Structure 1
């Protein structure tokens, strides 16, 4: 989908079907920054190099070099509940692919230009793009694959309630 890459490269205004987060604060901002800095460090991008950050962000629209991409959509009439169902589907897709030795990259960035994706793939106007999943065999030698993001301890992510 060269058209999508060209559109993103021209800094077209975003037109997602679902509103992106208004802002990241607290632990969500901390985790986002940590992950970004880990990636940039692995790729040799200097902290604060906004031009290099922007160039790396465009790799979303090349599917990070993956040979395949799944576009995840829901029916417009289902609203946010359809998107939640898609989240369940995405989780299972990622787990099944991993179990089969296939690497995946779930990508919200591609939905930035949902209208372009719909047009290029001949999807009906009743479809709403949630995200995409780029997938294929991992290039283990690529620097972006040299690190793993940290995970919050279970007790930070789950509130246990006992009777």
Structure 2
């Protein structure tokens, strides 16, 4: 099942798909959002990894405290706007945002979960 199917939106319904996509820009109605920026340091790979590990811990912590969260890479397309509004130096690159708050369990699509392949199909262990 896709996110659009969970929302009851047909693939050919471009107008409803556009409206659903725009929900990213109102943080899906969540009361809080964190925007994750990183400084340019060297090749940025290690810094991006550090931010990613922090973000994963943040997401797990929110869940442990009964909150829901949505990582949103689309927000990165508006990094210049966010930097300007928040007075963040241009040398800091925005990776993504996270919307969070208590889940509205009555909202259409709130029970949507991304299907995942089994770990043995996505991870190779070298021992």
The alignment's TM-score, normalised by the length of structure 2, stands at 0.92
Equivalent residue number for residue 77 of structure 2: 112
Q: Distance in 1 between matches of 2:46 and 2:90?
A: 18
Preserved CA contact (<8 Å) 1:77 1:126 = no
Matches within 5 A, 1:47-126: 47-78=11-42, 79-126=44-91
Structure 1, gaps ≥5 residues long: 1-33
Preserved CA contact (<8 Å) 1:73 1:127 = yes
The counterpart of 1:128, out of the listed 84, 93, 111, is 93
Q: Distance in 1 between matches of 2:112 and 2:96?
A: 23
* 1:119-160 per-position Cα deviation (integer Å, ceiling 9, x unaligned): 011111221101111000000001111332211101011112
TM superposition outliers: structure 1 runs of 4+ over 6 Å: none
Give how far 1:48 is off: 1.7
The alignment's TM-score, normalised by the length of structure 1, stands at 0.72
Structure 2, gaps ≥5 residues long: none
Higher helix content, 1 or 2: 1
Q: Distance in 2 between matches of 1:160 and 1:76?
A: 32
The alignment's C-alpha RMSD in Å is 1.3
Matches within 5 A, 1:148-159: 148-159=113-124
